[in-house]
Amino acid sequence: MSYFPCGREFVFINIFINGQTSEAHKINAGVPQGSLLGPTLFLIFINDLPSEIVSSVNMYADDTTVYEQTSKTYKDINLASDLSSDLKEVVKWGKTWLVTFNSSKTKLLSFHHHRGTPSFPSVIMDETTLQEANCLERHLGLKFTPDLKWNSYILSVAKDVGKMVGSFFRTRKFLTPAAVHYLYKSQIRPKMEYCCHIWAGSPKTSLSCLDRVQRRLRRLIGDELFKSLQPLSHRRDVASLSLLYRYYSGRCSEELKTLVPPPKVFVRDTRLASFTQRNHPHTLEVPVARKEFHANSFFPRTVALWNKLPADCFPANFNMDFFKRKINHHLACSF
């Protein structure tokens, strides 16, 4: 695929397949897909979209989320009004650049921990009142619910991968145990670990659904190969600690770096303080969590694990492979 400008109004596109070239066709808006320059040109094309928006904006590829949070002085009615104004600017931007936004596919979701479903003021986009959704299905691969709990997402993942494991039973006479073992590690287990650092603090009743899927493999691959599979909880802890190590070392965006809790400061020179400073100089303050929901989120949960690591897990300079090997060994011995 290739495309080239012609004047100021149109871009012409050609398709190349097996040495054959199609006729040039003109396009007057958007960015062609399937080319090397396409992603870069798309980012340039939408880069000025947030400039007229008052609310917070998150953009990842072609997914754009406009959001804001309420406070004691910033009520629901103010938030809804600002969102409607921002969506008006989005539609205006689209008309300027010949891009049509489908308001019927735009979803509105309010996150809260209230009992029941509170009534949220109307948000309007292109003269259409957006209907509040029960959840956001597969937003960047995840399922978001109003209470920000991951039970339904984990259950849906367990159901999907359970069907995949079931297909192994139906085709077991064509697959060796080693082949099933390899396919599980390369195709199924990654689906059960996608973004696991976010939902690893979910209730055990939900996480056990994933454990049951892995245990089913014992009948297919035998005890010896099954023993080589690490527990999923162990792998989730390793993934969370590795991500925190990356953030702590500054190998991330500045926004993520600022979220890392500060080093722990000991007010009194106690025996515990001396021992900690001598054996674990990277100890962090565990974020104060008044509710279980917050205590099980990424930073409070992972920092608590982090502070229990021995000092020899931390290399002098950033080395992810070394850190992973050390925490793998430490957590395996502690399991």
The yes-or-no verdict on residue 4 having pLDDT over 80 is no
Predicted pLDDT of residue 278: 63
- Which is more confident, 103 or 269? 103
Choose the weakest-confidence range: 46-60, 222-236, 285-299: 46-60
Predicted pLDDT of residue 29: 63
Under the banding of pLDDT at 50, 70 and 90, the label for residue 74 is confident
pLDDT by residue (tens digit) across 284-331? 999 998 888 899 999 999 999 999 898 889 998 999 999 999 999 999
The yes-or-no verdict on residue 5 having pLDDT over 70 is no
pLDDT by residue (tens digit) across 114-145? 776 667 888 999 888 998 888 888 788 899 99
Residue 131 to residue 55: CA distance in whole angstroms = 19
Choose the weakest-confidence range: 170-184, 260-274, 281-295, 317-331: 260-274
212 residue type, one letter: R
Place of tokens 């297909």: 167
Could you tell me the two tokens for 96? Answer: 């300027």
Radius of gyration (C-alpha) of the chain in whole angstroms: 25
Predicted pLDDT of residue 52: 82
pLDDT by residue (tens digit) across 76-121? 899 899 999 999 999 999 888 888 888 888 889 888 877 766 678 8
Predicted pLDDT of residue 58: 86
Mean pLDDT over 7-31 rounds to 69
**189-225 exposure pattern, b = at least 16 Cβ within 10 A, e = fewer:** beebbeebbbbbbbeeebbebbeebbeebeebbeeeb
Place of tokens 């990277």: 282
Residue 167 in 3-state DSSP? helix
**280-314 exposure pattern, b = at least 16 Cβ within 10 A, e = fewer:** beebbebbeeeeeeeebbbbbbbbeebeebeeebb
Choose the weakest-confidence range: 37-46, 77-86, 150-159, 198-207: 37-46
Residue 32 in 3-state DSSP? coil
Angle at 71 between CA 66 and CA 74, to 5 degrees: 75
Predicted pLDDT of residue 277: 64
- Which is more confident, 200 or 289? 200
Rounded percentage of the chain residues whose pLDDT exceeds 70: 88
Residue 332 in 3-state DSSP? helix
The yes-or-no verdict on residue 212 having pLDDT over 80 is yes
The yes-or-no verdict on residue 46 having pLDDT over 90 is no
Please give the full DSSP string across 264-292, using - where no structure is assigned. Answer: P--SS--HHHHHHHHH-TT-BPPPP-SSH
